């Protein structure tokens, strides 16, 4: 008789044959049920032994099914399962290596780190741009990049600031912007963007403006001097022309001064020096209010509420520039007879400088753009009012340099409030 090909069918036939044989033998000896029960128990023990062998094999790293003692019908099923999983593993491996090839093709450095900030993998651009080698795999990434700024930023888990500017450990002239992306709970990605060229361009632009402003200073001073002399003679037929020229050169002088002031602030904030000096703001405000009274020529009702004991860490020259600009703006953009209130007080761990006026006010859509250079809310009207369009850009820089916050509230036709909150503790 030819047995069927499939191992499981053959196994079932064996079970049936053994049960039939034990039944017939038992029947012949007058104990058919007992014989069948003994055979079933025998099969049960056999299954338990095979189950144990199967568990042993599954727990082991072995991939071969030979000499495992497993029944043929199980081996056949396991071999088919192995073939299927090998195919899936191969597919996944090829997708993964395609993904790695893609990261290697990226021009910007990518670092894969775990939740303990240990380096897991990096792409070719990271090897070239940051000098990473395979020996560094597994090390803490802040040891690899080794700057206190980076360590501090990473410890704060990139929350403090969403990116950091960092120089390459192998080339100080190369600057990267680095961002931390958390794509799973314990798998993070550090993405580096090369900003060397952008930095260079912005430095060239900044140096150009600073140099031009500096070069304009001397001829403007000479021009101003002569025009002052010429305007002294009121009988001159060109008196009006000289007056207009003088006014224009004064405006140009103001513009050059503001441009140089902005360049200085930018230079200093790039150097990130900490501020340790103490400024007696009440004395400073007294000086500024005298200047404001001169500018207003008694046309405004200027009031003050100043906490005379409130002094703060800061840079006097910068604070004078920012506070002076806000007070001058209030005078400039408030009609004669209007009210201006200057406040200096302590509030919840901060010192607050506030200028409130009931002047022209500003449209809501202009407020977010006011601190941009040369942005004017109502350009035609405001240009006639004087000013350089740089005042609030200076205010913003000074506030940031002092780790402060600038708030602007305004309503057209009702007036404006400009508020700077500065930290009381050392900056």
Q: Which residues bind ligand ADP (CB under 6 A)?
A: 325, 329-330, 333, 357, 359-362, 370, 375-378, 382, 387-393, 416
SS3 110: strand
158: left (phi over 0), alpha (psi -120 to 50) or beta: left
Shortest Cβ 134–ligand ADP spacing (Å): 54
- Closer by beta carbon to ligand ADP, 281 or else 362: 362
Shortest Cβ 319–ligand ADP spacing (Å): 16
Q: Which of 290, 277, 276, 284 is nearest to 308 (CA)?
A: 284
β-bridge mates for residue 187, sequence order:
114
Shortest Cβ 410–ligand ADP spacing (Å): 7
Q: Give the rounded distance of the alpha carbon of 248 from its chain centre.
A: 43
- Closer by beta carbon to ligand ADP, 177 or else 373: 373
From CA 128, how far away is CA 112, in angstroms rounded? Answer: 16
Shortest Cβ 217–ligand ADP spacing (Å): 19
DSSP states of 177-223: EEEEEESSSSEEEEEEEE-HHHHHHHHHHHHHHHHHHHHHHHHHHHH
Shortest Cβ 341–ligand ADP spacing (Å): 12
Shortest Cβ 344–ligand ADP spacing (Å): 17
Cβ within 8 Å of residue 269, ≥6 positions away: 397, 400, 401
- Closer by beta carbon to ligand ADP, 405 or else 419: 419
Shortest Cβ 280–ligand ADP spacing (Å): 25
- Closer by beta carbon to ligand ADP, 313 or else 338: 338
Helices (H) and strands (E) in the chain, counts: 12, 12
- Closer by beta carbon to ligand ADP, 158 or else 361: 361
From CA 146, how far away is CA 141, in angstroms rounded? Answer: 8
From CA 27, how far away is CA 274, in angstroms rounded? Answer: 103
- Closer by beta carbon to ligand ADP, 261 or else 357: 357
- Closer by beta carbon to ligand ADP, 154 or else 340: 340
SS3 362: coil
Query: What's the token pair of residue 246?
Result: 């003088």
Alpha helices in 272-297 (DSSP H): 281-296
């Amino acid at each position: 008789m030819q047995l069927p090909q499939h191992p499981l069918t053959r196994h079932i036939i064996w079970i049936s044959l053994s049960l039939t044989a034990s039944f017939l033998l038992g029947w012949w000896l007058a104990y058919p049920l007992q014989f069948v029960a003994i055979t079933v128990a025998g099969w049960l023990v056999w299954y338990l032994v095979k189950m144990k062998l199967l568990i042993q094999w599954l727990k082991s790293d072995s991939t071969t099914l030979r000499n495992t003692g497993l029944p043929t019908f199980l081996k056949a099923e396991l071999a088919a399962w192995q073939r299927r999983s090998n195919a899936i593993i191969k597919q996944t491996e090829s997708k993964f290596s395609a993904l790695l090839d893609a990261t290697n093709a990226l021009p910007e450095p990518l670092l894969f780190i775990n939740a303990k900030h240990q380096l897991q993998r990096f792409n070719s651009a990271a090897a070239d741009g940051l000098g990473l080698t395979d020996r560094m795999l597994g090390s803490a990434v802040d040891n690899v990049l080794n700057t206190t700024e980076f360590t501090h930023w990473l410890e704060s888990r990139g929350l403090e600031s969403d990116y950091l500017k960092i120089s390459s450990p192998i080339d100080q002239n190369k600057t990267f912007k680095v961002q931390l992306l958390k794509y799973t709970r314990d798998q993070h990605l550090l993405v580096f963007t090369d900003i060397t060229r952008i930095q260079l361009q912005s430095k060239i632009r900044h140096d150009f403006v600073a140099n031009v402003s500096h070069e304009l200073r001397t001829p403007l001073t000479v021009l101003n001097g002569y025009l002052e002399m010429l305007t002294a003679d009121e009988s001159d037929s060109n008196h009006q022309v000289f007056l207009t020229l003088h006014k224009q050169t004064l405006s140009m002088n103001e513009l050059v001064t503001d441009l140089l002031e902005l360049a200085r602030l930018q230079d200093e904030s790039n150097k990130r020096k900490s501020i340790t000096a103490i400024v007696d703001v009440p004395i400073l405000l007294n000086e500024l209010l005298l200047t404001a009274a001169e500018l207003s020529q008694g046309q405004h009702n200027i009031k003050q509420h100043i906490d005379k004991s409130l002094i703060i860490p800061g840079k006097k020259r910068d604070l004078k520039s920012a506070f002076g600009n806000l007070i001058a703006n209030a005078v400039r953009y408030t009609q004669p007879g209007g009210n201006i209130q200057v406040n200096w007080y302590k509030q919840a761990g901060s010192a607050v400088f506030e200028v409130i006026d009931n002047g022209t006010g500003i449209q809501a859509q202009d407020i977010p753009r006011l601190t941009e250079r040369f942005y004017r809310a109502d350009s035609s009207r405001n240009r006639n009012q004087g000013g350089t369009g740089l005042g609030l850009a200076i205010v913003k820089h000074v506030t940031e340099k002092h780790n402060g916050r600038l708030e602007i509230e305004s309503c057209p036709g009702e007036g404006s409030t400009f508020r700077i909150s500065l930290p009381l503790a050392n900056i």
